[in-house]
Structure 1
Amino acid sequence: MESSGADESRRARSDGTKGARRHSQLMPDQHREFFASQPFVVASSADREGRPWASMLFGAPGFMTSDEPDLLKVKAWPASDDPLLYGLHNGASVGGLGSELPSRRRNRVNGRIEECRNDIGFTLRVQQSFGNCHKYIQARAPQPRLKADPRRAIQSNDHLVKTDIDLIAAADTFFIAWRSASLADSSKPNGLDVSHRGGLPGFVQVVSDHELCFPDYKGNLLFNPLGNLLTDPRAGLLIVDFRDGTILHLSGRARVVWDVPEAMARSGAERQIFFNLDCVMRRENACPFEFDFLGYSPHLNEAEANPQSSSRK
């Protein structure tokens, strides 16, 4: 639902660079080529308790391939400390988001795993494929981290600690995973999904060490997860330190507040989402890329950015 109404929705291009989504059970050729050209994909799965988790899978361009319009083969596997691993098995629902950050192009896909090969990868039988609006994506260029520390520090808590709070306060991007209302019914095409949210540094607020709050901006297309979160509030957030490769996984429950303060409304926010934390997992040196910051989305007022956050661009 774009703010400019149905006319722009009808003009939307299927590659997701403008306007609303067009859902399909087949991947158009440009989507198949798009995923094959990417060095990473954001993915979501659900653990044994049904909690959604979001994470990233990496590989040289070509690690994702599509031999058929309804198949996406992913030749990558999560690390043993990655919560995404909990939900990768034959028949499992998986959501995927391809993001070409330099061009701000993104495409989404979801479906069920048809063939899972532990430590190698999996084949996804596509049930939905669609492009997304490019609003609020910050432009970044991924580069291999040549001096990456092979040692990995892992921390798991039921609350945020100072290092987590600092990362969140500096973030201008996060990813959200959620379940559809019909996930339990394998006869229906819906399952898990994952999408991007963006804003100026500080747009995700730490309410307490157990709660976050973030805005639903006008035109940010949060209606897709919003409807499902009202039915099943379980969600997973993924926040990446694009500088040092730390990945923060958050699992919890979302609550929608329909009224926003006047100051927030002037910035384009139409709703607030409060996120109550159940589990926090911090994985250092988990991302093999560092991302050169190229610029904020033109839909954001860069002058309002928090200058204290510039070191994490």
Structure 2
Amino acid sequence: MGGYHRGETAVQERAGSARQAGQARGAIGNTVPDVAVAFLAQQSHLVAGATDEQGRIWATQLTGEPGFLTVPGPHTLRIGTLPPPEDPLAALLTGAGAGAGTGSGWGASPVPIGLIGIEPATRRRMRMNGRAVRDGDGLRVELDQVISNCPKYIQKRDHHPAAATPVPRTAVDSTELSPAQQRTLRAADTFFVATASDRGDADASHRGGNPGFVQVLSPRLLRWPDYAGNAMFLTLGNLELNPAAGLFVPGWETGTSLHLTGSARTVWAEEEVARTPGAQRLVEFEITAVREVASASPLRWSAPAYSRFNPPTAA
């Protein structure tokens, strides 16, 4: 559980960070520390990533009142909510496990899932990967990995509930970005990316930077810099073995969620990388499907205080 798979070690070696990655391995466990139990109990949202029935990877957000995340055992996380019907992972997670909807315990087919608990107000986050089944009105996740992450590139934000009469939740699907969605991405300072290994083990990760760090090359092609991190390369390691990926872009002020699925590749070419300030590598993402959900989240967030670690963006 604390080891790296061959895709991760291949990227670590190519990046020249194998030694640093070996030192970071100690941050990977499969139990939730007491301090993390308390952290999760305070959260109102959780980011999740998984592969749907068509083999597409999506990332999304689950929300609830503080206390909707509980740790009934050191290897188990219970999530006291399910995604709404408009969510791209609703069908998968609502039906997870053979005993779906019964609360009867582990089913025959648990769903690999990657999770991030993140608290922008304090720039704290933790990453959890495991296998989920439906458990009554929520999910139960048996954890394979619990990972401590640093606060780099997290923009500080506080949240509050939406107005009492929100806009009705609606979903719009397409195969490419609309002009408005392209503007959203060009202005984004945060997104989340879900990937999976060639064995299907899921992971979800945070990406942050100053507005403009996400480059929209066309309605179906994005590029972003890979900044210095913890040297584990869990995301790029998965992409080394399986190019499928999914992005979730939160609408902090509106509650709208933008979900993208497609394939990604790492760009190592030094000349290309050098044109993007702070980049150690680049990632290109080709979109195959888009879903935008209005009023997906009941939370609204304050204007960001940008991380001091964010590199400048290219002019």
> Do both share a fold (TM > 0.5)?
yes
- What CA deviation, in whole Å up to 9, does each residue of 1:47-68 have, x standing for no partner? 0122111110111100011121
Structure 2 gaps of 5+ residues are 1-11, 98-109
Q: Does 1:171 find its partner at 2:176?
A: no
1:226 partner SS: helix
Question: Which has the higher mean CA deviation after the structures are superposed, 25-34 or 263-272?
Answer: 263-272
Structure 1 gaps of 5+ residues are 11-18, 184-190, 307-313
Contact 1:20 1:133 in 2 (8 A): no
Q: Does 1:112 find its partner at 2:117?
A: no
Contact 1:52 1:236 in 2 (8 A): yes
The aligned amino acid for 2:295 is N
Q: CA deviation at 1:301?
A: 5.0
Distance 1:263 1:85, change over 3 A: closer
In structure 1, what is the Cα distance between the partners aligned to 2:295 and 2:209? Answer: 24
Q: CA deviation at 1:99?
A: 0.3
Distance 1:86 1:234, change over 3 A: farther
Distance 1:30 1:283, change over 3 A: same
Tell me the C-alpha RMSD between the 2 structures.
2.5
Q: CA deviation at 1:164?
A: 0.7
- How many residues align? The count is 288
Question: Percent of pairs identical after alignment?
Answer: 36
Q: What TM-score, normalized to structure 2?
A: 0.84
Q: Does 1:253 find its partner at 2:258?
A: no
Equivalences for 1:199-238 in 2 at 5 Å?
199-219=209-229, 221=231, 223-238=233-248
- Paired residue for 1:282? 292
Q: CA deviation at 1:31?
A: 1.6
Distance 1:263 1:28, change over 3 A: closer
Q: CA deviation at 1:133?
A: 1.6
Q: Does 1:292 find its partner at 2:302?
A: yes
Q: Does 1:81 find its partner at 2:91?
A: no
Question: Which has the higher mean CA deviation after the structures are superposed, 139-148 or 31-40?
Answer: 139-148
- Paired residue for 1:137? 154
In structure 1, what is the Cα distance between the partners aligned to 2:130 and 2:31? Answer: 11
Q: CA deviation at 1:32?
A: 1.7
Contact 2:278 2:311 in 1 (8 A): no
- Paired residue for 2:203? 193
In structure 1, what is the Cα distance between the partners aligned to 2:22 and 2:275? Answer: 24
Equivalent residue in structure 1 for 2:163, among 146, 149, 155: 146
Contact 1:239 1:249 in 2 (8 A): yes
Distance 1:145 1:220, change over 3 A: farther
